Amino acid sequence: MSILARSIAVHPWLRPLPFALALSVAGACAARSDVDGAPASGAEALAKAIAARGLAATAEDVTWLEGPSGVVGTITGARRNALVRAAADGEPADLYLVGARVSPEGQVLDVDDPIDLTKTSGVDEGRPLLRGDIAAYVTSLDGAPTAVHVLDFGGYPAAAYKDLSRVERAQTRITHAQTTGQSRGVVHHSFTLDPAPTRVTLAFDDDGMLEVRGDGATQVIDPRRAVVVSGAGVRVTEGLLAKPPGLSAWASDRLRGASWFGDDKNQLLKMAVFTAMEWVKTTKSRVTGDTGEKDVASDLGSLTAAAPPPTFRDPEVGWPPEPIEPVIKPSLKGEGQWIALSNDPFIHDALTGDAAAPFMTTFVRTDKNAQHTRIYVTMWDPRVVELHMEAGTVEPTSATGEPGPGIVPRTPEVFSRLVAGFNGGFQATHGEYGMQANGVLYLPPKPYAATVMQLRDGSTAFGSWPGPGVVKGADGTEKPATMAPGPWSSVPAEVLSFRQNMTALIENGKFNPRGRTWWGGVPPGWKDAVHTTRSGICLTKEGWVAYFFGNDISAEPLAKGMLAARCTYGIHLDMNPGLVGFEFYHVEPASTFTPLSRPLQNDWEYEGGMKDLPDLRYRARRMIKSMGHMFFPRYVQRDARDFFYLTARNVLPGAPLPSRDGKAAWRVKGLPQHGFPYALAVGDTSFAADGAPPVAMKVLKLDPRMFHIARDGDDAPTVCVLGGAGRRDAGSPKQPDAARSIWLTAHTLTMGRAAPTESSRAIAQVVEGTNARARGAAGIADADGMLLWVELPAEVPSSGAASAAMLALLERAGCSSRGLLPDGARAYPGGALDIGLAPARAEGVRLARSPGPGGRPYFESTEIVGPSVWHPLMSQRVRYFPKPKVAPPADAGNK
């Protein structure tokens, strides 16, 4: 039995889809029409033919691709393709692939339906420059160039399919045939110009290299390999294949893309199927009295045997969270009780161990009419776990034409701290909700849309995007104050990434305060009560972040699960089987990776290596077992859809302190932390330079994200004072000769002679060379940017050997920026203790407590408005881009 047949046997609702897909292919083949009349040229005929489809183009906008023509083409029925720059009414120009049958005389006999290859809502595509099967063009905004793009009609090479199964290859080729007109696909590379020039010209040289000239600068690009051969200021996004989704989700996308079927019919089909399945399951549970208890045991597997979290909560830490109060009584065993994922072999080592595990998981039932359904919750502490987001290679469809990388950055500093990944929001076709990832804007923000953000300080923030406000019409109904862009249209500078999806499911602790009726399960305008697989993310009143997942639920039970978990702001994410899921990861160097001591449970666990990172190995586990119907593991691979991923933050105490005996422990308790994560740690160690006797030392470690330089009137509590006994220079210390300063710039430390920016302030100095009188040293750790401050105890005399030992300790701790401290420089934790924690008095540079990154609300002043205000704004295609200076059109021309 084939994989497709097995899938249909397991999921009966898939049975109509093969026939619908066959009809879709047949419909696509039949979607062509005869051309009336005999215009002066084939290009004119083609432009006239697509005008009947609502696309405006001229003969000059038509570029014929190489292919059969003349007598042979007519006899064989072969068709020629043209790349046409055309614009729908009121929209920017896109590039369309149009197939046509052409007579020996060059007359166009009939044409296929145009296929939009670029689908950009925010920029205009220029006329393409063609060389062989390579087309290059420039996108522009209000006439100003933004990027250079390459379309390779040669398609993807065989090597691009090597990691796909036979079924996945078939899925991919069918997708290509539908979306690009050829089963081999069209490879799309993007080259964003930064800074953007005022004008760009393109030309191919004799070797096929693409020359990009603008504002006196020239870049040379290899268009097939997507490599910048020479020149700078180009951000390259290579067009790469990602695995297709599961069969059900993939088939749904193909039906949605069929012109004769479309999204509304697709939604109706899914609504009918899911409603019928819901009725069957609910009826069965009522007859049998099924409460879902057996399914819970299966879903959580061995996790149910994990130890519960500690009941004591350090008031300075505040974690773990309170249990969830069950909604349905009597409750099931373990319902609402957190399972602490500590010492978990599937979670990064930095987040397991003696401290309270930053990940907790549980379940809660919220639908009294379907008590067999559950909402599963995974909650984390955003102070120690950082949320990131990444655009997929296909979704969201970018307003500027720049595709996303679709992959977690393959850098050791990111991938080695990867702990989890989970699904993003809806496809662009279902609302074009905004997204920006790592500073790259893919879709502009929509007013009043529910938004989760990653701020530049690493915080995870939630809020509804601002809008233009409300006015009342003559009939008393509310409407938007304006439909035009305004100050609310721009992305705040401190927002690094954001993802929007519909309006808030939960806002200010209330369900659906903006009155939405559509949550993705039915055609727009219908009442949405479809029960399917749904997911969401929220911010709790304590500042924790949680992911929610449920099978066979509507939006309301999902919202009730969020409210039970004390969410103040919640967002509905993606939905339907095969599209949603959450995975944990444990990544480690291959040289130290220890395989699991028991056999893997292949239905939700994985262990293996990375082809593009051979020095690393990893383990993966789904959040629950029933999170199936999609390829696994998913988010460590390249994905066509956007997703979120989580990394472990570098927090104190961190790695053990180097010592001659191996490792020495840090101390964090009983220190003037004034919050969590900890701002400082202290430790005693003994270390020696090569061949020398060991030297006793006291070490202080400071996290720059947790403090700032206090100014007059600053009443924030003191974390530490860097200075000397009796010093009265409370500002930046004086710099001795031949010294470098330790600079604090926006919670980042650097070392050098000159200030990195105008806002940088010095907090200490280090001197060059070796100083036999030095009683201290300082360095900045390369891995986490923290300050290590070393001092000799009073009983240890200063000497050249002692200075060498302190520098050697800093080198072992990974501080490439390091140096000895000038005479008299001391650190005073809390401003009232010396580094040995004995009472002391000091004056100097006072470092006061900062809250540090975590979870927090954002856009708190956004008003609650009803559908009459937000719906018109969300329904329009927004183009909220900064307006650059207007320059002449950036057409590539034809050479």
pLDDT digits (tens, 9 = 90+) for 257-275: 776 666 667 666 666 666 7
User: In the chain, what percentage of residues exceed pLDDT 70?
Assistant: 85
176-182 long-range Cβ contacts below 8 angstroms, 24+ apart: 177/25, 177/28, 178/24, 178/28, 178/254, 178/257, 178/258, 179/115, 179/257, 180/97, 180/115, 180/117, 181/81, 181/97, 181/99, 181/112, 181/115, 182/153, 182/155
Beta bridge partners of 653: none
pLDDT digits (tens, 9 = 90+) for 453-507: 999 999 999 999 999 999 998 888 999 999 888 888 899 999 999 999 999 999 9
Exposure string of 289-320, with b = 16+ CB inside 10 Å and e = fewer, is: ebbbeebbeebbbebeebeebeeeeeeebebb
What pLDDT, on the 0 to 100 scale, is given for residue 33?
Answer: 57
Amino acid in the structure at residue 866: G
Residue 172, classed as helix, strand or coil, is: helix
Q: How many other CB atoms sit within 10 Å of the CB of residue 661?
A: 10
Q: Are 855 and 167 in contact (CB under 8 A)?
A: no
Amino acid in the structure at residue 164: L
State the Cα–Cα distance between residues 148 and 145, nearest whole angstrom.
8
pLDDT digits (tens, 9 = 90+) for 373-401: 999 999 999 999 999 999 999 999 888 88
Which strand (E) or helix (H) includes residue 219?
Answer: strand 217-222
State the Cα–Cα distance between residues 537 and 420, nearest whole angstrom.
14
Strand 787-791: give its sheet, edge to edge: 680-687, 695-702, 787-791, 776-780, 817-820, 761-767, 739-745, 748-752
Residue 94, classed as helix, strand or coil, is: strand
What pLDDT, on the 0 to 100 scale, is given for residue 355?
Answer: 60
What average pLDDT does the segment 826-837 reach?
95
Q: How many other CB atoms sit within 10 Å of the CB of residue 251?
A: 24
Q: Which of 555, 647, 540 lies closest to 367 in space, CA to CA? A: 555
Q: How confident is the model at residue 877 (pLDDT cuts 50, 70, 90)?
A: confident
- What does the block give as tokens for 239? 């067009």
DSSP 542: T
Quick one: CA dihedral 655, 660, 661, 667, positive or negative?
A: negative
**Token pair 């009597």 is at which residue?**
330
Quick check: 292 pLDDT over 80?
A: no
Q: Are 83 and 100 in contact (CB under 8 A)?
A: no
Which strand (E) or helix (H) includes residue 265?
Answer: helix 262-288
What pLDDT, on the 0 to 100 scale, is given for residue 315?
Answer: 82
Residue, of 74 and 826, whose pLDDT is higher: 826
What pLDDT, on the 0 to 100 scale, is given for residue 739?
Answer: 79
Beta bridge partners of 680: 702
Quick check: 25 pLDDT over 50?
A: no
Q: How confident is the model at residue 247 (pLDDT cuts 50, 70, 90)?
A: confident
Residue, of 161 and 106, whose pLDDT is higher: 161
39-48, 541-550, 595-604: least confidently modelled range: 39-48
Query: Counting every residue, how long is the chain?
Result: 895
Which strand (E) or helix (H) includes residue 587?
Answer: strand 582-589
Q: How confident is the model at residue 416 (pLDDT cuts 50, 70, 90)?
A: confident
Domain positions in the chain:
291-463+495-649, 657-849
Q: Are 101 and 79 in contact (CB under 8 A)?
A: yes
Residue 70, classed as helix, strand or coil, is: helix
Q: How confident is the model at residue 883 (pLDDT cuts 50, 70, 90)?
A: very low
Q: Which of 190, 183, 181 lies closest to 223 in space, CA to CA? A: 190
Residue 100, classed as helix, strand or coil, is: strand
State the Cα–Cα distance between residues 30 and 50, nearest whole angstrom.
16
Measured CA distances, 300 to 189, 295, 362, 378, 597 (Å): 43, 9, 9, 12, 19
State the Cα–Cα distance between residues 141 and 876, nearest whole angstrom.
18
Tell me how far apart the terminal alpha carbons of the chain are, to the nearest angstrom: 54
Q: Are 797 and 804 in contact (CB under 8 A)?
A: no
Amino acid in the structure at residue 499: R
Beta bridge partners of 869: none
Residue, of 768 and 44, whose pLDDT is higher: 44
Residue, of 71 and 363, whose pLDDT is higher: 363
What pLDDT, on the 0 to 100 scale, is given for residue 277?
Answer: 67
Q: Report the mean per-residue pLDDT for the chain.
A: 86
Measured CA distances, 863 to 310, 468, 648 (Å): 40, 10, 34
State the Cα–Cα distance between residues 797 and 795, nearest whole angstrom.
6
Quick check: 27 pLDDT over 60?
A: no
Which strand (E) or helix (H) includes residue 558?
Answer: helix 555-564
Residue, of 39 and 282, whose pLDDT is higher: 282
Residue, of 527 and 730, whose pLDDT is higher: 527
User: Across 108-117, 381-390, 872-881, which has the greatest mean pLDDT?
Assistant: 381-390
What pLDDT, on the 0 to 100 scale, is given for residue 628?
Answer: 74
- What does the block give as tokens for 591? 């040289």
What pLDDT, on the 0 to 100 scale, is given for residue 578?
Answer: 85
Quick check: 354 pLDDT over 60?
A: no
Amino acid in the structure at residue 414: V
| Burial degree of 349 (CB within 10 A; 0-12, 13-18, 19+) | middle
What pLDDT, on the 0 to 100 scale, is given for residue 169?
Answer: 92
672-676, 689-693, 847-851: least confidently modelled range: 689-693
Measured CA distances, 609 to 240, 319, 550, 598, 632 (Å): 20, 34, 30, 18, 14
Concatenating the DSSP letter of every residue in 139-167 gives EEETTEEEEEEEEETT---GGGGTTS-HH
DSSP 378: E
User: What is the pairing mode between strands 567-575 and 506-507?
Assistant: antiparallel
Quick check: 718 pLDDT over 70?
A: yes
What pLDDT, on the 0 to 100 scale, is given for residue 266?
Answer: 65
What pLDDT, on the 0 to 100 scale, is given for residue 884?
Answer: 39
State the Cα–Cα distance between residues 283 and 286, nearest whole angstrom.
5
Residue 819, classed as helix, strand or coil, is: strand
User: What is the pairing mode between strands 55-56 and 80-88?
Assistant: antiparallel
What average pLDDT does the segment 851-865 reach?
96
- What does the block give as tokens for 613? 């990172």
Q: Are 206 and 278 in contact (CB under 8 A)?
A: no
pLDDT digits (tens, 9 = 90+) for 310-352: 677 778 888 999 999 999 999 999 999 999 998 889 998 766 5
DSSP 603: T
